[in-house]
Amino acid sequence: MARVTSLHNKRPSAEKKAKVAPKSGKLALAPALRPEPLAHTHATMEQALDKGLKAAQARFTGGLSPIALAAAYSDWALHLSSAPGKQLQLVEKAVKKTSRLANYAGMCASNRDTTETCITPLPQDKRFTGEAWQKWPFNVMSQAFLLNQQWWHNATTGVEGVTEQHENVVEFATRQMLDVFSPSNFAMTNPEVLSKTYQQGGMNLLRGWQNFLEDAARVNTGKKPVGAEAFEVGRNLATTAGKVVYRNHLIELIQYAPTTDKVRPEPILIVPAWIMKYYILDLSEQNSLVRYLTSQGFTVFMVSWKNPDAEDRDLGMDDYLSLGIMDALDAVSAITEGQKIHAVGYCLGGTLLSIAAAAMARDNDKRLQTLTLLAAQVDFTEAGELTLFINESQLTYLEDIMWDKGYLDTTQMAGAFQLLRSNDLIWSRVIHDYLMGERSEMNDLMAWNADATRMPYRMHSQYLRQLFLKNDLAEGRYHVGDRPIAISDIRAPVFMVGTERDHVAPWHSVYKFNLLSDTDVTFVLTSGGHNAGIVSEPGHPRRHYRMQSKTKDAPYTDPDRWWTQSQPTDGSWWPALVDWLSDRSGDPVDPPSLGSEGYEPLCDAPGTYVFQE
């Protein structure tokens, strides 16, 4: 059978496959598969001093390079200082906004019941939508803040000569600093907090203080957020029945038990992102994609990634490709007796799966029946605000942080993602939990989000440099083995899903697969964000999606035109995926056994790697 031979110099025999007892959760790599250490991990004393200093500094900067930030502000400030026309324009805007605010304040003073405004917030800004914010003097406070915010946007953008990335960084960082001083974040300037404080005699502030102390204690001791203890993997999360049928140093492969008398002959292999635990696609019974697919007559396999530690610092992208996807494909092929495979990849898992599919196409490995990519990118030129953190200075700083430990810590990753949605993930929580003194009810998706994993030094550095910084995959420079690969080599039909409010993989960026591919592509745009848009089970309220298919010979349609040409459909996109897969599958047959010779079941799902802290 054809395969990507360049990924394996030597394939271990069934007797030599690394297997570990469920109790230990540890595994030693076979010698042929152990990665070579990176040359620059062995630093000189002087280099070690520099790296250690930056790693210590990062504890106070949240992992952001102060030099990268200073370079961006210097670029902006120097060009602004040499642009008297732009300065004059900003002075004029300041005078006009001050006059507009003064007129508005006078109108509100004379008519305190007015509902008029002098500036409208952006659609996603919900901080001042409450009725209390429309009354004096809080309406003037909110309007003053929004006018000030708008002026700073004008000041940090449109300065000729500033590089695009530096402009984006300055605009983003300034917006974050301004948000700190939003009147909604302080008890004395938030009318909703004042009202609750008056009604409850200040007990809300006392509860909020207790909430803050409890959260701080949990962070300092490494405990999960309040309420997460109600959700337990294997009890009410990741409960779909199955067996771990293969284990190596990096993955456990779960085969799920059939729930129908007959199944489609082609199995589904799901490759989730390794930045979080796999069970986002097997959450609770009612919103498990795995359970839904098995109920629709499919045999489903899932990759469960190991949570790497300092010993795994030299695991690279090739190891994730070889040990993660290719070993899983071998196992699925053996268990299903050579049937072609429906491969599904989510987020980073989808990017890696695209790399595998391109390499397999290059090497004439035809085991993939279809390719489904969920919120996954292959071109990173429009990868949203995450690209603000991707430049040479920032990546060097990040590599020094990882060099110190051998991995990227979960708190550093979480901090970067929270910054992208600070109003939703930081300040709204400050108001709700600490000023209002309330607690949001924990749900399964929030509990999963708190169960983060680490990222190995070598892999994360390669991923950020080769894909984000250099865009090697989209531009044909990414090597698998000793030769480059191209997305255009993929011939398996593709089902792609983007989400409307994705801050991690913006749907315009996901859509760019159409520019690189030479195969039939069905593109789906669903409501929700990066996680909630994917976990969108049938019956979920207020869900909709758009879907259009194009053949490989059809002309390109840009994303904005695609939007106008596609009509929204109410409900979940999951049934559309099942219909698409069914149309590309054979007639139902008897389900395969759980495991096979050489891939005997090792333990029950959800396995052991998912429990690694």
Query: Considering 108, 118, 347, 603, which one is annotated as catalytic?
Result: 347
Cβ count near 560 (within 10 Å): 10
Give the pLDDT mean for 99-121.
Answer: 88
Same domain, yes or no, for 176 and 286?
no
Give the pLDDT band of residue 421 (cuts 50, 70, 90).
low
Same domain, yes or no, for 361 and 498?
yes
Residue type, 240: T
Residue pair 162/76 in contact by the 8 Å Cβ criterion: yes
Does the structure show a pLDDT above 80 at 132?
A: yes
524 occurs within a structural domain = yes
Q: DSSP H helical segments within 363-492, as ranges? A: 392-405, 410-420, 422, 428-429, 444-449, 457-462
368 SS3 class:
strand
Does the structure show a pLDDT above 90 at 43?
A: no
562 occurs within a structural domain = yes
Which is it for strands 455-456 and 521-526: parallel, antiparallel or unpaired?
A: unpaired
Q: Which of 151, 166, 181 is the last residue of a domain?
A: 181
Give per-residue pLDDT as tens, 61-78: 666 788 888 999 999 999
Give per-residue pLDDT as tens, 519-564: 999 999 999 999 999 999 999 999 999 999 999 999 999 999 999 9
pTM: 0.88
Same domain, yes or no, for 175 and 246?
no
Same domain, yes or no, for 177 and 281?
no
Residue pair 378/471 in contact by the 8 Å Cβ criterion: no
CA separation for the pair 376, 495 (Å, rounded): 11
Which 3-state string (H, E, C) describes 153-189?
Answer: HHHHCCCCCCCHHHHHHHHHHHHHHHHHCCHHHCHHH
The pLDDT > 90 percentage for the chain reads 71
- pLDDT of 8 reads 39
Give the pLDDT band of residue 33 (cuts 50, 70, 90).
very low
Give the pLDDT mean for 183-206.
Answer: 95
CATH number at residue 573: 3.40.50.1820
Give the pLDDT band of residue 41 (cuts 50, 70, 90).
low
Q: Residue 258: is the preceding peptide bond cis (ω within 30°)?
A: no
Give per-residue pLDDT as tens, 310-335: 999 999 999 999 999 999 999 999 99
Give per-residue pLDDT as tens, 340-376: 999 999 999 999 999 999 999 999 999 999 999 999 9
Active site residue 603: no
285 occurs within a structural domain = yes
Same domain, yes or no, for 479 and 342?
yes
Same domain, yes or no, for 159 and 262?
no
196 occurs within a structural domain = no
Number of domain units in the chain: 2
More confident call, 596 vs 420: 596
- pLDDT of 419 reads 58
- pLDDT of 29 reads 32
210 occurs within a structural domain = no
Cβ count near 112 (within 10 Å): 11
- pLDDT of 416 reads 60
20 occurs within a structural domain = no
> Who contacts 121 (Cβ-Cβ below 8 Å, separation ≥6)?
127, 128, 129, 146
Same domain, yes or no, for 515 and 371?
yes
313 occurs within a structural domain = yes
Same domain, yes or no, for 152 and 254?
no
The pLDDT > 70 percentage for the chain reads 89
- pLDDT of 59 reads 67
Does the structure show a pLDDT above 90 at 15?
A: no
Give per-residue pLDDT as tens, 250-308: 999 999 999 999 999 999 999 999 988 999 999 999 999 999 999 999 999 999 999 99
Residue pair 52/43 in contact by the 8 Å Cβ criterion: no
- pLDDT of 411 reads 67
Q: Which of 152, 181, 210 is the last residue of a domain?
A: 181
Which residue range is the domain that position 94 belongs to? Answer: 48-181
357 occurs within a structural domain = yes
Of 273-282, 422-431, 567-576, least confident by mean pLDDT is: 422-431
Does the structure show a pLDDT above 70 at 433?
A: yes
Same domain, yes or no, for 176 and 250?
no
Give per-residue pLDDT as tens, 81-95: 999 999 999 999 999
Residue pair 64/389 in contact by the 8 Å Cβ criterion: yes
From residue 604, give the alpha-carbon distance in Å to each of 49, 238, 282. Answer: 47, 11, 15
Give the pLDDT band of residue 116 (cuts 50, 70, 90).
confident
Q: Which of 159, 181, 203 is the last residue of a domain?
A: 181
Give per-residue pLDDT as tens, 441-497: 899 999 998 888 999 999 999 999 999 999 999 999 999 999 999 999 999 999 999
Same domain, yes or no, for 477 and 551?
yes
- pLDDT of 32 reads 34
Same domain, yes or no, for 287 and 168?
no
Same domain, yes or no, for 60 and 130?
yes
